[in-house]
Structure 1
Amino acid sequence: MIFKFDEKLIDRAISNIFNNDLNHNENYTSLNIESYLKDNNVILKIGSDGVGIDKSISKTIFEPFVKSDNSNSSGSGLGLAITKKIIEKHGGSIKLVSSEFEKILFVICIPIQF
């Protein structure tokens, strides 16, 4: 099975998530990555047990210029908005959830292109 995607764009999208985890969490925060195929979609889950995302911005986290008030980063608040645009350009979706083990869990779903 061949999964076609724009390598540079997907790299940027995933790097934005990794950079957020590095910039907004303490040292030794665990990062968990899982990928699998489901219903002709590639599913990528990226989670961490870090600080978490303030509930007041969790619904708008993918909008431009949204940043946490307690952010230690000088970032622009564009990274996750760009990530969402890239994923959507590939026909996919991204959502922020939490789980029993991860305070932050991004779930990316991209359809396989034949």
Structure 2
Amino acid sequence: MFARTSDPIVAVATAPGRGAVGIVRVSGPDLAPLIEALCARQLKPREATYLPFRDAAGAPIDHGLAIHFPAPHSFTGEDVLELQAHGGPVVLQLLVARCLEAADEIAGTGAAPRLRGLRVA
């Protein structure tokens, strides 16, 4: 079944394989709760912030740069969260998995029901 084009998406935005830096992007409506879940704080718009990316228990998955591009001032016109982490495939897949996990947790609380459709692009 195809997702609606309005559903939020998460994807690795860099080429497959190893690299110094890898990027994971999330695009969709109302990403504030997801940003809080991954970064343990809100981010200043369009400002790169160095911080740990957190798992569900609050332990760091990796450290890197997070940038929030609020709608409509992003390249998709929606809220965009860009996570720039170490470029190994395992780290990037852990970040994608955490985004999906956090979206399910948030949607279950009713805080951001539109995150329920978060899918891997």
Q: Give the TM-score of the pair, scaled to structure 1.
A: 0.36
Q: Give the TM-score of the pair, scaled to structure 2.
A: 0.35
Question: Which structure is higher in strand share?
Answer: 2
